[in-house]
Amino acid sequence: MRVAFKPLTISDSIIRPIAVLTISVGITLLFILLSYPEKNPTLHPNPTGMASGRTRSFILWLHGLGDSGPANEPIKSLFTSPEFNSTKWSFPSAPHNRVTCNYGMVMPSWFDIPEIPVTAHSPNDEASVLKAVKNVHAMIDKEIAAGISPENIFICGFSQGGALTLASVLLYPKTLGGGAVFSGWVPFNHSMIEQFPEDAKKTPFLWSHGISDPTVLFEAGQAGPPFLEKAGVTCEFKAYPGLGHSISNEELKNLESWIKSRLRSSSS
């Protein structure tokens, strides 16, 4: 049986963008914590999730619009396999920016979103997306400089964070371990494919999307694999019947298995 968390939403509706979102995020995290009490981490402003000893892999999680990094830290409690004992986690928070789809309100946002719901044909603000990508690349560069192999670096994100994950991985000059998109979309036009470095195209993707998503429509998710195929990028797409704009336990456990199967021993 699938355990569906309450949504980490872009916004529950255009009319009620902030208050409902804040409440829903709190309910989501409460559910995760109650479901996994023996693994509950202590929340810290800048969590790393590092075990003692050398860090052998790195997972960067990018949250959705209006959310925060530390609020998503309980996600790592689901990764119980010993392979993740030496994994460093990072849950950065987006800067506060004006968001067009929420009437220009200032809120945590990686880049601007012109409209909600997001469809397969929604307009994109590529300039702000590319600006956000540079910040993600700086985070990746820092970990590689610290000694982590690029092939053991995984970028993951939900909703707006999923869209940023896609853009960041496809524009990074090296092959990474993988990119995981949850309820995300393609945040730029097909012409951008020409700018993807050849090594970036070797990074595999996992794409998960709820069929009943009313915020980032399923059609927006379905447009991802053909886009990646055109670019020559491998993508495993998983559709979840009955799932709205949220992350389920099933999705996250699948992510654990997917990353585990791609961890390389070369960094040991």
Q: Please identify every residue annotated as catalytic.
A: 159, 213, 245
**Nearest Cα to Cα of residue 63 among 181, 128, 157, 135:** 157
DSSP3 helix / strand / coil % (the chain, rounded to 5): 40, 15, 45
Q: Radius of gyration over alpha carbons of the chain, in Å?
A: 17
Q: Which residues pair with 33 in a beta bridge?
A: none
43: Cβ contacts below 8 Å, ≥ 6 apart: 70, 73, 74
State both tokens at 16: 């009620």
State both tokens at 103: 């009437």
Task: Write the single-letter amino acid at 136.
Answer: V
Question: Quick one: angle between helices 126-145 and 160-170, nearest 10?
Answer: 70
